[in-house]
Amino acid sequence: MDATAAMKQSDELLSGLIAGLTAEHRELRTPCDQWNVHELVDHICSGTHGIAGGLAGEAPPDEQPDFMAEGPANAWREAAAHLSAVATPEVLNSLHEMPFGHVPGEAAVGLIVADQVTHAWDLAKATDQPYSPSDELAQFALNTWHGFAPAEGRTGDAFKPAIEISDDAPLVDRLAAYTGRQP
């Protein structure tokens, strides 16, 4: 699976989960200790806009916009559309300066997709919704994290230490465990 196909599947996965949110979900805690549901969706949208902006050569905003002002579904649609609009083959195949280094566009999209797929798990767990990414999408995210966030030496700041899990566990469980979540 390439980054473009993964981006489309991640958009569908998150669109379904975010459409299932209600006002009662807003303050629920998520597996990401620092965020409730509202804050997690804002983080997902902010990160997606950030990568899209970096790929487009846009300067980061001076102040963080309130992505959630129009509600979570609208916030996600705008973020996903922003990324989709800039993720052209030319952009994916060229190098871009991002906060985490000088990387190919495809790698930057891969990173935000892995983040989206991982946080979709958090959102599903917090709101008791089904989480069912394709095996290909889960494998894409897991492979991306293996390359970007090796299990060795994690301090727990950005990533909690990986949790041991059987190699024959379902891919979604291995993804959760690798990113420090209890499947």
- Identify the pLDDT of residue 157: 66
DSSP class per residue in 152-176: TT--SSSSPPPPP--TTS-HHHHHH
CA distance 181 to 122: 9
SS3 (DSSP) at 101: strand
- Identify the pLDDT of residue 60: 79
CA distance 94 to 81: 20
pLDDT at position 156 over 70: no
**For 4-8, 69-73, 106-110, 120-124, which range has the lowest pLDDT when averaged over its residues?**
69-73
Q: Above pLDDT 70, what percent of the chain? A: 98
- Identify the pLDDT of residue 166: 94
pLDDT at position 11 over 90: yes
- How far out from the chain centre does Cα 182 lie? 18
Q: For the segment 34-63, what is each residue's pLDDT rounded down to a tens digit?
A: 899 999 999 999 999 999 999 999 887 777
Q: How far apart are the first and last CA of the chain?
A: 24
Among residues 2, 36, 24, 30, which one has the least CA distance to residue 131? 30
Q: For the segment 62-119, what is each residue's pLDDT rounded down to a tens digit?
A: 777 777 778 999 999 999 999 999 999 999 999 998 888 899 999 999 999 999 999 9
What mean pLDDT is predicted for residues 136-159? 84
Reported confidence tier of residue 160, pLDDT bands at 50, 70, 90: confident
Domains along the chain? 3-132 (1.20.120.450)
CA distance 96 to 75: 25
